[in-house]
Amino acid sequence: NYDRVLVKVNFICNKTWETGATTDPVVVEAIIRKLADLPVKVYVVESDATITNADKAFEATGMAEVCRRNGVEWLNLRRIKDTVTLEVPDGEVLKSVTVPRLVTESAVISAAKLKTHMDTDVTLGMKNMFGLLPDKFKGKYHMKGISKVIVDINTVLKPVITVIDGFVGMEGKGPIDGTPVAMNLIIAGTDPVATDATAARIMGFNPHEITHIRKAYEKGLGKSEAQII
């Protein structure tokens, strides 16, 4: 049981949701309102990336307005000084990861985007968890092999639920410069592997050919098939 919930959005850039690049504020507002009846404090979170100032993206994407309207606080994880180091058991390339202590003491909802990615084929819920790392210069992780890094992060940081915003997805040169595709779709699940695998299939990929989805499945982080109820 947690008394805090972090809604982890995808702000890879300052582009608005209809470009297919960033999480739609409507999706985040729906999550916030769904949590309103629970005794939890909700934060919307992201961290700076090499080319992205998350605080500027927060304003430019319309997420600031959503947070103000709902009385929810925004946090740039890069600015939180109280951190904790987590050992990665049987890590692919990382022995440990250092994240804000808040991340480890909160329930995380991965509010991801339905997008292609030039390095990992798709960027969905598990790739979105990579943004919990507070380092600005994330390129160093790409040099280690980003697919393996994604698996390592999801080994120690598990979302309680993954919500993939597919109202407008992206194909081609994702995660920033691809072509927007109207899908009018939301994919959600408690199993991060099965949720991503389902989204990958919808996008026309075989999830077993997506390295980080396959490796996460092989490590027992979730199933590769979704159980439709």
Measured distance CA(116)–CA(124) in Å, rounded:
8
Q: What's residue 142's pLDDT?
A: 86
Q: Which of 40, 51, 27 is nearest to 73 (CA)?
A: 40
Measured distance CA(229)–CA(212) in Å, rounded:
26
Is the whole model's pTM more than 0.85, yes or no?
A: yes
Assess whether pLDDT exceeds 70 at residue 208: yes
The answer to whether the beta carbons of residues 70 and 33 sit under 8 Å apart is yes
CA angle 66, 69, 71 (to 5 degrees): 100
Q: What is the mean pLDDT of residues 171-184?
A: 95
Assess whether pLDDT exceeds 60 at residue 10: yes
Q: What is the mean pLDDT of residues 146-170?
A: 97
Q: What's residue 228's pLDDT?
A: 53
Encode pLDDT of 13-40 as tens digits.
999 999 999 999 999 999 999 999 999 9
Angle subtended by helix axes 139-156 and 211-218, to nearest 10: 30
Q: Which of 224, 46, 67, 1 is nearest to 138 (CA)?
A: 46
* Residue of 50 and 45 predicted with greater confidence: 45
Q: What's residue 229's pLDDT?
A: 46
